[in-house]
Amino acid sequence: MRKLKAVILVGGPGTRLRPLTNDRPKSVLPVLNRPFMEHVISFLKHYGVGEVILTLNYLPDVIREYLGDGSRYGVRITYCLEKEPMGTAGAVKNAVAHLDDTFIVMNGDVFTGIDLADMLAFHRDKNARATIYLTQVEDPSAFGVVETDNGNKVKRFIEKPPLAEATTNWINAGIYILEPEVLEHIPANTHYMFEKGLFPHLLDMGNPVYSYPYRGYWLDMGTPGKYFSLNIDLMLSKIASPLVSIPGDNGVYNGSGINDADIDPAALITPPVMVGGGSRIEPGVAVRGPVVMGRGCHLEKGAVIENTILWDNVSIGAGARLNRCIVSSGMSVGSGREIVNGIVTPSGTAELLQV
């Protein structure tokens, strides 16, 4: 049986995610101390995907260095570069040489608990040319809504309707199953979108386009607040990743056990807490989960850390207090300093926007 292929739309620099993405693509931001894209690839592999095609246009060499050829994840990774952003459908058209059978497309910001095997079975049962994963939101005015009939066949697309005029709150969730022949309808070397271009065009031509509504977990990691929420949700087991197992008792955890971290017995650890290798927690420190600490972090005496994400090699001074924060790699927070709802990066301290 042929292995499934998946195209991941990695996209550009993610301006809404700055300052976290000032020096790195959003796809390699650490989620539970692993690059976000590793979680996505692990999710796809779980459902039988054997080849992953990444569409890149921002810092592609950084992503290649992180992910390599995919062999350590048990998949083959192919890279398709865009000189200029091509849009969601244009980026997939750019990968047409690699797509000769039913394939999956996934926005590179999405994290979800959807059952891709069931979605694929639905797609094949309906003999669809395209199947679109839909999720519900309270306010659809910032999204593209999708109207369907009682059999989940798509009737029309409405882009960002005013809340009072929205006829549905089911939106395009950024995962599609497509047949390769639909690529013929995407113009080459042109910026072209699925939402405003290909899907409405397929409907106009009478091609069967279906929706797959799913009420479970869905998150678009498009802002610092959403990135923060994803880490916290995983630590609280609101959603799982095939890549990292959070223990059932929500204890102190890292991927290889806790032996390579130095935690003083006089430190107070309230789980769930993840501690990266080589980290040091001094006496009198309080770590109140959910907290994620990267590798080589150092918490000095009396520091209090709660509901916070520390990247690698972060130093927190004696008596400092952090609550609901993200601290990027290599940063130091001075002794006695207090930061609430903040992002600490080399460019300074910014507010962690509400989710």
Q: Is the pLDDT of residue 355 over 50?
A: no
Give the integer Cα–Cα distance in Å for 137 and 132: 16
Q: Round to whole Å and give the CA distance between 252 and 245.
A: 12
Tokens of 120: 């694929």
Q: What would the mean pLDDT of 205-216 be, rounded to a whole number?
A: 96
pLDDT at 31 over 70: yes
Q: If we measure between CA atoms, which residue out of 199, 87, 206, 224 comes closest to residue 145?
A: 199
Name the one residue in this structure whose structure tokens are 């069931």. 118
Checking DSSP bridges between strand 170-178 and strand 262-263, what pairing results, if any? unpaired
Asked if residue 328 lies in contact with residue 315, where contact means CB atoms within 8 angstroms, the answer is no
Between 54-68, 84-98, 298-312, the lowest mean confidence (pLDDT) is in 54-68
pLDDT in tens, 211-232: 999 999 999 998 999 999 999 9
One-letter identity of residue 301 = K
| Torsion over CA: 342, 347, 348, 351 (sign) | negative
For 77-81, the CB contacts below 8 A with 24+ separation are 77/41, 77/51, 77/52, 77/53, 78/51, 78/52, 78/53, 78/54, 79/53, 79/54, 80/53, 80/54, 80/55, 80/56, 81/56, 81/57
- The answer to whether 170 and 135 are in contact (CB under 8 A) is yes
Kindly give the interhelix angle for 60-67 and 36-46, rounded to the nearest 10 degrees: 60
Ordered by where they begin, the domains of the chain are: 4-220 (3.90.550.10), 247-351 (2.160.10)
Whether the CB-CB separation of 262 and 250 falls below 8 Å is answered with no
326 neighbors 305 (Cβ within 8 angstroms): no
pLDDT of 4 reads 94
Model pTM above 0.75: yes
Task: Please give the pLDDT value at position 233.
Answer: 96
Partner residues linked to 344 by β-bridges: 327, 349
Report, as an integer, the average pLDDT of 316-332: 97
Q: CA 279 to CA 281: how far, in whole Å?
A: 7
